[in-house]
Amino acid sequence: MMDLDKIERDLMKEVSGVTGIPEGAYNFRVNGKSIGRHSSEKIDIIPKTDKSGIEIYVADGTKNEIAHIPVIISASGLEEAVYNDFYIGDNCEVTIIAGCGIYNCGASDSIHDGIHTFHVGKNSKVYYIEKHCGIGPGAKKILNPTTRLNLSENSCAELLLEQIKGVDSTRRLTEADLAKNARIVIKERLFTHGKQSADSKIVAELKGDGSSVDIVSRSVAQDYSRQKFCSQIIGAAKCRGHSECDAIIMHKAQVSAEPSLDAQNVDAELIHEAAIGKIASEQLIKLMTLGLSRRQAESQIINGFLK
């Protein structure tokens, strides 16, 4: 697949599922450069001229198309900020598969800041999948994703945001503005271990009547890692908002959750839920009676929890 070594190919598969040249539109970025770009009949990918990044234009009426835009870093000490802008036409249904994998075996930190901005047209639906992971015995693997969405009338966005493993530090920001009858579903999955840290902030502003948001964050913090989750739902119209944070804390880890609701309209219906706790001993005992070791039982529970 392209001109990648085995580690880079494995990372590409891990964060995007890509094992060869995919059908449709794609842009592959490796160590700060595009190593492959292709536009389809309905999706046009154009490199920016003023800064690092691309612009993705989806034509009106586009249905059942996928664009892959993964990033791989295998050069120790590489620091980059990439700006990708998405212009989704009206009456579309598309899937965007992003993600970043970092392999670092050197003495300097590797850092990727990805800033993605979506402009979603009327009556359109976008599926956005973003997975992050880090591997290698070297210095820190740092990922700071920013995702901003502007949703037009009757549009919908579904986001799956996952941090799989190995990311030493992350600052995650997701922001959304919703017009009349727009809807967004955000599912976040975070896993930290060692001395890693993860800060996640999600802000949704419901500006149009009939708009809605559903935020579900699930995380596991092990060892001495630290996590902080903040969600803010602003109801400025007749709308519905729900935020849920569930975290499993283990060993000497620290987890904090700060859900916030701001009702600015008498017809705004906003709910938040937050729960942090250890693995229930009954669950462990049940699995261990089936022949699993404690470590195997914990792994089974964590994998199920993060699905």
Q: What is the pLDDT of residue 134?
A: 97
Q: What is the pLDDT of residue 2?
A: 63
In a domain, 306, yes or no: no
Q: What is the pLDDT of residue 67?
A: 97
Say if residues 192 and 253 touch (Cβ distance below 8 Å): yes
DSSP H or E run through 287: helix 281-288
In a domain, 1, yes or no: no
Say if residues 221 and 255 touch (Cβ distance below 8 Å): yes
- Determine the structural domain holding residue 218 and report its residue range: 6-279
Mean pLDDT by 10 residues, the chain (307 residues): 84 92 94 95 97 97 97 97 98 97 97 98 98 96 98 98 95 98 97 97 98 97 97 98 95 95 98 91 80 84 84
Report how far residue 27's alpha carbon sits from residue 35's, in angstroms, rounded to the nearest whole number: 8
Q: At residue 5, what are phi and psi to the nearest 5 degrees?
A: -80, 180
Q: What is the pLDDT of residue 307?
A: 81
Q: What is the pLDDT of residue 288?
A: 80
In a domain, 297, yes or no: no
In a domain, 287, yes or no: no
In a domain, 62, yes or no: yes
Q: What is the pLDDT of residue 193?
A: 95
How many domains does the chain fold into?
A: 1
Tokens of 284: 């462990």
In a domain, 299, yes or no: no
In a domain, 96, yes or no: yes
Q: What is the pLDDT of residue 9?
A: 93
Residue 186 to residues 74, 82, 117, 126, 242, Cα–Cα distance (Å):
29, 22, 15, 12, 10
